[in-house]
Chain A
Amino acid sequence: MMTRDQFRFDLIMDAGNGAQKAGDILIKGFANQGLYVYIEPMIPAEISPPKRTKYSMSGVTIRVATGELTNIGSLSELMLVEQEILLDRRLDDEEYEPGGTVILDMGDQKRSPATYDQAMARARAAGLKVLPLSIPDEAQQTIRELNGNGKNMVYLGVFTAIFNITLTDMNAFVSQVFKKLPADKLAKNLTLVQSGYDLAQADFSELFLSIPANPDDREKILMDGNTALAMGIVDSGIKLYSGYPITPASSIMHTLAKSFPAYGGIVHQAEDEIAAIGTAIGSYFGGVPAITATSGPGLSLKQEFIGLAMVSEIPCIVIDVQRGGPSTGLPTRTEQSDLFAAAFGTHGDATKVVLSVSSVEDCFYAPHIARYLTEKLRVPVLILSDYLTSVSYKVFEKLNLNVMENISDILPEILERFYIEALPESIEMVKTNQSIPGEVGRLRRVTGLNTDIEGTVAYTSQTNQRAHQVRNEKLHHVRRALKTPEFFGPSEGDLLVVAWGSSRGVLKEAIDTCHREGVSVSGMHLKMVYPLPLMLKELFSRFKRVVTIETVYGDSLKHTPFSTLLRSETLLDVKAVLSNATGRPLKPSQVVNTIKELSHVHNN
């Protein structure tokens, strides 16, 4: 049996056949052994595309390891695929390790022998070993009795055997997940798991694998990014969530709809994206902390209200779970392309505070820091997550709760997590009176029109200039409070690779790999992406070359948004060296190769 400290594999099925469910159960098995997992679902943007088509590819990529994981990794070494069309489709993504293995269910072979042969030949040509899987007749019969459902349980059984998880443990997890199923149906599912387990014992023992665990006593949790945002909203003392359905932000609202009322919160589904933010702003004007979440197209729609919040000095928090753009783009693929829309999107020069999340853990604390900043500054704060972070599950150490009521309660570790000092006690506002309805003797009206210090509408040249100056000074407070961002490796040298948001894990792993292999390189990661820390130019100047890696398009004539921002802020020749808008996350191996090429060029 092979022993490995980490392994990545795929389970790919037609949409609706339960690949994600099987993955969810499987990772419970890993986590129970004390292993760390990172799981990325593959979800079509449609609901149930016709089966046996390439549009129907659905599944999970799972990375499991002895130590903590920060990303999904580079390539899969094993794929279990339900039928040949999906194998063909998945090979398009080029995310397999040459020398790896495909387990292909041959159940549909009689229907289409030619395409089976073709897909298997393609896999072999790509350097993959293809092992056929045939679900035994008895299991086939059970699947028929379950109205065609249950193949995923057979595959779960196969993985249970491959990864050396005991059937007793797995049966317990299956029973726990299907606790609402009638007993006879549950029993049938368990039979299917057993069938897959036996099948693997007979046919796939060459693949059996041991991943040693380092169990410890620390409490661990399993969570995805959107759930962490939802739980963070509860813990940060926000009282109202106002949203409109949009992929991939919707699951934040789904989670809150179930759990928020139990903690005294309100969930409001608005008639559109614009109304969703309008209601959040109305609530915050009333002194009740509120939040909205959306994705790219919704961010475009919300821009006018974001500007109103800016000018009328009403706190406002918007989560943008970025997806592939522009326009409707790639709803279920990842991209880091909303940076400019977030920082500069509103008309009339209204730059906002934009922070990004690098991990599921950051998602939990992002609402706290956003609330702290927006209530201190009365400037809109945008939280940029992305599809990758929103759907990726991982195991991590249980987080400390803040149970924040007022922003003065914020835990110092949250400020540290986002590399920012506390803001000054007193911050000048455009309008002195910032009362909320119900306060006696301090009646006031707010407006999107320009106002003077008293809050009355004013069109004079001095008042508008002053309002801009005061608003910008608020952002300067953030600039001054931002600390040296996170560094990986020495703080000077030949090459610095800079990333933001969800690219942190990939950057860190790539830098670690390079260091292990003796390649000299440093990495820097920014969570706060607008405004930027003031010492950035000085930090960059300590390196001969500064480059970025981003999940967004760029080429030799068009800089990426992030590198454009860094260039304009530092006047240094910062260029993106990896700027992919493929919808897939960056791979540590790509980053390592890019660093090696750059180092090589440099050393010559």
Chain B
Amino acid sequence: MSTTTNPVTLKELKAADPRWCTGCGDYTILVGLRRFMVQRQIDPVNTVNVSGIGCSGRLPHYMNTYGIHSVHGRAIPVALGLALGRPELKLFISSGDGDALSIGGNHLIHGIHKNFNCVFVLFDNQIYGLTKNQTSPTTKKGLVTMTQPQGSPLSPINPVQFALGLGATFVASTAEWMGQHFLDTLDVAYQHPGFSFVHVAQRCPKFNPSAWNHEDSRWISFLEHDNGVPADRKAAPDATVVAHDPSDMAKAFEHANGLTTSFGLFYCQERPRYDTLTLDATEKAVKKDKGSLLDSFAI
């Protein structure tokens, strides 16, 4: 049982038994998130995991915190309601490439624009998993899917470029199979006040095993900086390491071009947050007595 005084442990963060496929990267994300909460000693009682629909949407069920598994694509507005109503809560949003970039694209635009405080984790397996193998916005050109048996006709959206383009105040990319990098990325994201966009390369052995080559690391380059996320040489020994200052937006765009091959902190910049601005406006308003509510309508 959770209390606010006992230390947070991995065991107590376990809830329902996960029902993902064998080898699914979502397991690694789940365990990584639990590890992170233990590492930071984040109180589950004041934590809410919010999700939409899809394989990623199931994560809240498996985390022994508070949680809402909401509707497809729309975790962001639900999380915003919590951010405005209960600003002290820690909010983690789990979303997928279809959930975030397709059906929920509008909310992602505005979540990023509003820059309210949460950690937004995009599980990118480049495919619709739960509905069984349909093209997603990040599916590579040419991949044969149930809905596009001739191969996906378009080049994919690059989620990092998408977030940067929308003016996100925090944009990072990591991969679930790079355990330490994943933890370090979450940690920087958690500390950022605002909407922290975390892209996670995620394996889907069932429907899209070619999405990410996790057995080889020569295609990977880490973006490294003192204010960023350290390269994970253990998880990706053959990766190249590139110095990148996360305050340099132009360079961030260069690294985000084309298919995702760079991991690390692309961009980080503090900016005013919609949640605090909105709450401050109410806080600072000259207060009136509810007993005089109708007086100005008197005739």
Bound-state CA distance A147–B231 (Å) is 68
Bound-state CA distance A274–B298 (Å) is 36
Binary flags per residue of A248-277, CB closer than 8 Å to B gives 1, else 0: 000000000000111111101011101111
Who on chain B is nearest to A237 by CB?
B290
Bound-state CA distance A284–B68 (Å) is 12
| A457 CB within 8 Å of chain B | yes
Residues 12-50 (chain A) with a chain B CB within 8 angstroms = 28, 31-32
- By a CB distance below 8 angstroms, the chain A residues around B286 are 262
- By a CB distance below 8 angstroms, the chain A residues around B70 are 278, 281, 305, 308, 448
Residues 33-71 (chain B) with a chain A CB within 8 angstroms = 44-50, 60-61, 63-71
Q: Is the interface of A mostly helix, strand, loop or mixed?
A: mixed
Who on chain A is nearest to B289 by CB?
A263
Does A457 lie within 8 Å of B84, measured CB to CB?
no
Binary flags per residue of B62-83, CB closer than 8 Å to A gives 1, else 0: 0111111111001011111111
Residues 220-260 (chain A) with a chain B CB within 8 angstroms = 220-223, 227, 231, 234-235, 239-240, 242, 260
Q: How many residues of A contact B (CB 8 A)?
A: 65
Q: Which of B1, B83, B293 contacts A231 (CB 8 A)?
A: B293
Bound-state CA distance A280–B298 (Å) is 31
| B214 CB within 8 Å of chain A | no
Does B77 lie within 8 Å of A279, measured CB to CB?
yes
| B15 CB within 8 Å of chain A | yes
Interface-located stretch among B105-113, B222-230, B252-260, B263-271: B105-113
Bound-state CA distance A290–B15 (Å) is 29
Q: Is the interface of B mostly helix, strand, loop or mixed?
A: mixed
| A437 CB within 8 Å of chain B | yes
Does B84 lie within 8 Å of A266, measured CB to CB?
yes
Does B82 lie within 8 Å of A285, measured CB to CB?
yes
- By a CB distance below 8 angstroms, the chain A residues around B4 are 440
Write the nearest CB–CB distance from B3 to chain A, whole angstroms.
6
Interface-located stretch among A398-406, A542-550, A567-575, A580-588: A398-406
| A100 CB within 8 Å of chain B | no
Bound-state CA distance A271–B76 (Å) is 11
- By a CB distance below 8 angstroms, the chain B residues around A222 are 297, 299
- By a CB distance below 8 angstroms, the chain B residues around A457 are 16, 61
Bound-state CA distance A31–B298 (Å) is 10
| B288 CB within 8 Å of chain A | yes
A261-B285, A438-B89 given; A278·B74 CB < 8 A:
yes
Bound-state CA distance A125–B100 (Å) is 64
Bound-state CA distance A261–B286 (Å) is 8
Interface-located stretch among B22-30, B146-154, B274-282: B274-282
Who on chain A is nearest to B114 by CB?
A271
Bound-state CA distance A437–B46 (Å) is 6
Residues 311-351 (chain A) with a chain B CB within 8 angstroms = 312
| A443 CB within 8 Å of chain B | yes
- By a CB distance below 8 angstroms, the chain A residues around B48 are 286, 437
Who on chain A is nearest to B45 by CB?
A440
Write the nearest CB–CB distance from B126 to chain A, whole angstroms.
25
Write the nearest CB–CB distance from A272 to chain B, whole angstroms.
6
Does A266 lie within 8 Å of B278, measured CB to CB?
yes
| B86 CB within 8 Å of chain A | yes
Write the nearest CB–CB distance from B116 to chain A, whole angstroms.
10
| A456 CB within 8 Å of chain B | yes
Does B82 lie within 8 Å of A283, measured CB to CB?
yes
Bound-state CA distance A261–B279 (Å) is 9
| B191 CB within 8 Å of chain A | no
| B250 CB within 8 Å of chain A | no
A220-B298, A437-B46 given; A234·B293 CB < 8 A:
yes
- By a CB distance below 8 angstroms, the chain B residues around A271 are 77, 106-107, 109-110
A32-B299, A219-B298 given; A305·B106 CB < 8 A:
no
- By a CB distance below 8 angstroms, the chain B residues around A242 are 81
Does B109 lie within 8 Å of A444, measured CB to CB?
no
| A445 CB within 8 Å of chain B | yes
| B294 CB within 8 Å of chain A | yes
Does A264 lie within 8 Å of B282, measured CB to CB?
yes
- By a CB distance below 8 angstroms, the chain A residues around B50 are 282
Residues 447-472 (chain A) with a chain B CB within 8 angstroms = 447-449, 456-457
- By a CB distance below 8 angstroms, the chain B residues around A449 are 69
Binary flags per residue of B208-250, CB closer than 8 Å to A gives 1, else 0: 0000000000000000000000000000000000000000000
Bound-state CA distance A32–B298 (Å) is 11
Q: Which of A266, A304, A445, A456 contacts B282 (CB 8 A)?
A: A266
Binary flags per residue of A343-376, CB closer than 8 Å to B gives 1, else 0: 0000000000000000000000000000000000
| A182 CB within 8 Å of chain B | no
| B287 CB within 8 Å of chain A | yes
- By a CB distance below 8 angstroms, the chain A residues around B61 are 445, 447, 456-457
Q: Which of B63, B68, B80 contacts A446 (CB 8 A)?
A: B68
Bound-state CA distance A440–B2 (Å) is 6
- By a CB distance below 8 angstroms, the chain B residues around A445 are 15, 49, 60-61, 63, 66-69
By Cβ-Cβ distance, the 5 closest A-B pairs, closest first, are A282-B81, A278-B77, A288-B85, A261-B285, A445-B67
Q: Which A residues fall within an 8 A CB radius of B? A: 28, 31-32, 219-223, 227, 231, 234-235, 239-240, 242, 260-266, 268, 270-272, 274-288, 290, 304-305, 308, 312, 395, 398-399, 401, 403, 437-441, 443-449, 456-457
CB<8 Å pairs between A and B, sample of 7: A263-B290, A276-B77, A278-B74, A282-B83, A441-B3, A445-B69, A447-B68
